Structures are given as C-alpha cells and as structure tokens.
Structure 1
Amino acid sequence: MALADDIKAEVTKIFKDQWSRRTGQVVPEPESISLSNEAVEFEQATVLYADLSGSTAMVDGKKWWFAAEVYKTFLHCAAKLVRAEGGSITSYDGDRIMGVFIGDYQCTRAARCGLKINFAVQKIVNPALAARYPDANYSAKQVVGIDVSSIRAARTGVRGGNDIVWVGRAANYAAKLTDLDLAQRTWITEAVYNRINDAAKFGGEPKENMWKKFKWSQHDDMTIYGSIWTWRL
C-alpha cells in the first residue's frame, strides 16, 4: 500500500497545484525546469518529427544488427540536419526523432530540414545500404511531419528518470502526420505552408511548387501539404 499511497498523493498534488509559467527564450534542458507544475511557454514554435517507416516489418524480417544499423544511420542523418538548420533535438523515440525550431524563419528552416532528410535517406543512406548489403532487398523510407503553434514545455517523470513533455498542437500534429502512407515524404500543415518563404516553396527550373495540397481526412479534412522533393546537401 505504501507505493500506491505515494503515487496517489503525487497524482493529487499534480492536479491540485497551480502552474507557474515563464516565457522561453531557448529550447530548455530538463534540468532547467522543476518537476513541480512549471511550464516554459513559447508563443510560436515549430515541431518536426522524422519517423522511419516500416520498421516493425524490418525488425521482424531482418537480423537485429541490420535493423540497428538502419536505425543509427537514419537517426544520425536526421539529427545532424535538425541541428544544421538551427533546430534543437528534444527526443529520440525508437525509430523517430523530434526537433523543435524557434526564432526567425523557423517554419522555413524546418520545412527545408524535412526535404534535406529526404535527400539524405534517398541519396546517402540507401546507396550505402545497397553497397554494403546488395542482397538485402530493403530500402529505408521515412516520413517527416511538421506543424507550428504556441507550445509549452513541462518536465515529467520521477527524480532520476524524467524528461520534457511538449504540450501543444504542433507536437501532436507533427507526430500524427508521420502516420500518412503516401508517396510524399515530407508533410506540413497549412499554418507552416503559409509561413515558409518562396525558396522553400518553389524549386526546379522553371520554378514549380514543391508542395501538393491535400485534405487530411483523419483531422476534419484540414488542409495539409506534402512533398516528394529533396533538398541537396
């Protein structure tokens, strides 16, 4: 009963305590937020999720070390590119990575990052994979989801084992966009699309829109945009 009483008391405390809030200037580290009801607020932040598609089938059908190498190469590329575009890596979750972009041109930088991840998977990871394992009959494929909204960061967990939870539309929608299984590898909401500059919207010669408009049936047919394009590194 001691453990149950302890959990019950903490749950009651969390629901009862008032929240303290402060405006965020940088993406916080867990240690900078208390485990009490404290939140760091961002009026606008752009969240990117990059997810490796079909990883369950890969784990079921391939050797563990093959899957581990695919995970590591994909996550390495995604992490390097998030940081190169000025984003902060906020979590690794199995075969996915979450990045948060704040400040000027955050939507443009996040969208460009998604297109660069597509380039890295198609032009770097898969050629290296095919060269090392020519008989594997496997190609890595990813989906990136991006949204922008106001968002709050809070610290959750227990002492010695905790992390930051991001509360706001952008975190949820960006993650849900990675569930889409179409040809498009990078997905952005209309809110992101309306904020990216023309260089991140139009490519090729002559210029054409790199983003195709869709209705997101899982979310009340809201407008989203998907892209099959890559951005050369």
Structure 2
Amino acid sequence: MRQSCKIVETCVLFIDIRRSTELNLQHRPQTVSRLYSSFVRAMVRCAEQYNGHVRGIIGDRLMVIFDVADCFTNAVRTAQSMNTVSSRIINRYFKHNEVSCGIGIDFGRMLVTKTGFRRHGVERHNYRSLVWLGRPANVASKLTDIANKDSTFITEPAVNVGRHYSAINEFSWHIESLQEFIGALKGEHFWGNVNRFRHSDEYVFAALPATRNVQLTPKTPAILMTRVVYDGFRAKHPTEPSIVKNWYKRCYVSVSGYDDAIFGGDVIFTELVPA
C-alpha cells in the first residue's frame, strides 16, 4: 500500500483560547458551546479573508496553512484580524474580559501525509486525515501555547534592610534578597575566631525578615512569530504602521526546537472594532 505525501514550504498559524478550562468552570455549558462555535466560525472567516486554509480544528484550537504566494503578509494579517475579532468583538459579550487568545506563526518546509484508515462496510467513510509534520508546525504550536500569557511569579524569603543616613537624618527601608544581604556581611575576627558580623554598608542599622515576589516569566503578547516571518512581513511592508512604530518587538522567550529571535505584539485592526 502506497502512502502519499508532499513537501510544502509556507507559513503555518495556530490560534488557541487562553484559560479555556476556567471558562468551562465559570459559565454554563450552553454559553461555552456558543462561544466555541462563534469563535471557530469567526476565526475560519478571518483565515479565508487572507487566503488561509484551516487544516485542523481541535476544540478551541485552529491550525491554518497559507498559499505560498504572499504567505508572510497573509499570515500576519490573519493573526491581526483574529486578535481583533477575539479580543475586541467576541470578548465584548463577557463582563470580565475573559476571552483572550494566543497566536503563533512560523515558516518553513513541512511534510504533509495522510494517516488513519478506511472503514468499510455499512459506513463507507474515509477516516484518513492530513498530518503536517516538521519544525514549523511544532514551533508555531509551541508559540501559541506561550502567547498572551500573564507573568508568573514566585515568593521567596528576603530581608527588609533599614538604613539611617545620619548626615541628613533620613531613614529608608529596602527589600533585598537573602543572597544580597548575606553577601554584604563581613566577619570581625578576634583571636582567630569570628565573633560577630557587620554589614559592609555603614548606614545599615536594622534587618527584618520579609518576602518578595520574583518574576519567573514575563507577560507575552497575543501574537508571536519567528524571525523569518517577521523579516518576511517587514520586507514586504516597510511602511506598515506596525513596522514603522515598532509594534512588534523582540520577545525574550524560548521554545524547544528553535533558537533564533521571536517577535511579538498585541496588534489589532482598529477599523474592525465597533464604536
């Protein structure tokens, strides 16, 4: 049995609703069902507007492939359109701005093949489906997973350090990490032993236990794309406002399987937003 396949080099885009589990818990099943139906229909129309072809729908996650011609322009335009519709139109019907999406785009060579099986008998349907294999699909999917995510923090022990500047009779308090505070301590030696510690800053007069929040990951924009997509779009549209005004900025995030720059922005089409 022959297995047909084809190699395609173009842009691939994924979009996914953020916090979909919370939406299911906070709203009635009928509300969530209408949301998903409206979302999928709207995103398909956004893709079709820019010659995109939806090649996968799994719940609230869509995969879009573009014709090779003008794929950079069409992929970025689709992302901007999807971001506008999801955040500024669909989200208007939710009181607490609960609907947000992550969008990821990459470009490259992908192998398209068919998997599954044919089921014969009473139900003579073709159960074979297309699968897109290759780095661009994997990277775009991973970018979607981290797009439009809030910052994450951890709480760690710290020291609230008090300083007294006697010359001006001024007091101040500043939170420092344990490592910073301990590193500034110096032992005073008497007869070969350390009898006490003194802070290297002569103005420190007190230290109290405290905690502080440390950022683990930064907040990410709604649209993330690889360098090749950004460069391709910028080359085609050097006077585009999003390029001239630097709305897409380099994001210092990483995904496995990709080691080049990632650009992102929360760009929308203002003309699509209802007054």
TM over 0.5: yes
Aligned position for 1:54: 19
RMSD of aligned Cα (Å): 2.1
Kindly name which structure, 1 or 2, has the bigger radius of gyration based on alpha carbons: 2
Seen in structure 2, the aligned counterparts of structure 1 residues 64 and 218 have a Cα distance that, compared at 3 Å, is: same
Q: Which runs of 4+ in 1 moved over 2 A?
A: 197-202, 215-222
Among residues 142, 145, 148, which one is paired with 2:101 in the alignment?
Answer: 142
TM-score normalised to structure 1 length: 0.75
Aligned position for 2:245: 208
Aligned position for 1:164: 130
Mapped pair 1:227 → 2:227: no
> Would you tell me which structure has more strand in proportion to its own residues?
2
- Cα distance in 1 for partners of 2:42, 2:3 equals 35
Equivalent pair of 2:143/2:255 in contact (CA under 8 Å): no
Gapped regions of structure 2 (runs ≥ 5): 119-125, 150-218
> Percent identity, aligned pairs only?
24
Among residues 204, 217, 228, which one is paired with 2:254 in the alignment?
Answer: 217
> Would you tell me which structure has more helix in proportion to its own residues?
1
Offset at residue 199 of structure 1 (A): 3.5
Aligned position for 2:59: 94
For residue 230 of structure 1, what is the amino acid of its counterpart? I
Counting matched residue pairs gives: 191
TM-score normalised to structure 2 length: 0.64
- Cα distance in 2 for partners of 1:79, 1:194 equals 26
Gapped regions of structure 1 (runs ≥ 5): 1-34
Equivalent pair of 2:15/2:104 in contact (CA under 8 Å): yes
Alignment of 1:111-126 (within 5 A): 111-126=76-91
Equivalent pair of 2:142/2:255 in contact (CA under 8 Å): no
- Cα distance in 2 for partners of 1:183, 1:173 equals 16
Seen in structure 2, the aligned counterparts of structure 1 residues 211 and 200 have a Cα distance that, compared at 3 Å, is: farther
Mapped pair 1:80 → 2:45: yes
For residue 107 of structure 1, what is the amino acid of its counterpart? F
After superposition, give the CA deviation of every residue in 1:189-218 in whole Å (9 maximum; x if it has no partner). Answer: 0111111145488427x9401211023333
Equivalent pair of 1:50/1:143 in contact (CA under 8 Å): yes
Equivalent pair of 2:11/2:68 in contact (CA under 8 Å): no
Mapped pair 1:187 → 2:224: yes
Offset at residue 225 of structure 1 (A): 0.6
